[in-house]
Amino acid sequence: MIGSKILLVDDEEIFANNMAKLLENRQYKVTAVYNGESAISALEDDKFDVVVLDLKMPGMDGLATLKQIKQLGLLTETLLLTGHGSIDAAVEAIRLGAYDFLTKPCEIDDLVEKIEGAWRKKDDAWKIDMEGKLKKLVESPSSVFDLFD
């Protein structure tokens, strides 16, 4: 979806920057960070539709970051970038609640396709969430403030 906000997390700065440019070329709003900790603080500061997370990073790795993201309880979907040899870790990531994974190096078109899929899922979740809140509003108008949480 044009204008979707993407958080790109990869310790390889050149790769992260290049990817960000490529996605921006495709009309996404991209923020690139280079480690898990920065990703968490970025997520705390701003809202993102999709997080693209590298699995293998020094310090806080992809799985640990994913766990923290899930703890934040944000309305966001996560895509994992993995090497071919760490399929097991990717499977673990999906179990933890990631949307999907891609093996590195990947084609930009494949990434875009997955991002779109993730966005749709996030959007569906947002719609359900909203519907619930609206229903609540109809039932008890005092919960109008919840909409702005």
Interface residues toward other proteins, by CB under 8 A: 12, 14-15, 18-19, 21-22, 25, 56, 83-85, 104-108
C-beta closer to other proteins: residue 7 or 102: 102
C-beta closer to other proteins: residue 38 or 103: 103
Q: What is the 3-state secondary structure (H, E, C) of 98-132?
A: CCEEEECCCCHHHHHHHHHHHHHHHHHHHHHHHHH
Number of neighbouring beta carbons within 10 Å of residue 118? 23
* Minimal distance, residue 55 CB to other proteins, in Å: 11
* Minimal distance, residue 19 CB to other proteins, in Å: 6
* Minimal distance, residue 145 CB to other proteins, in Å: 44
C-beta closer to other proteins: residue 23 or 40: 23
Contacts of 16 (CB under 8 A, 6+ apart): 8, 9, 10, 32, 33, 34
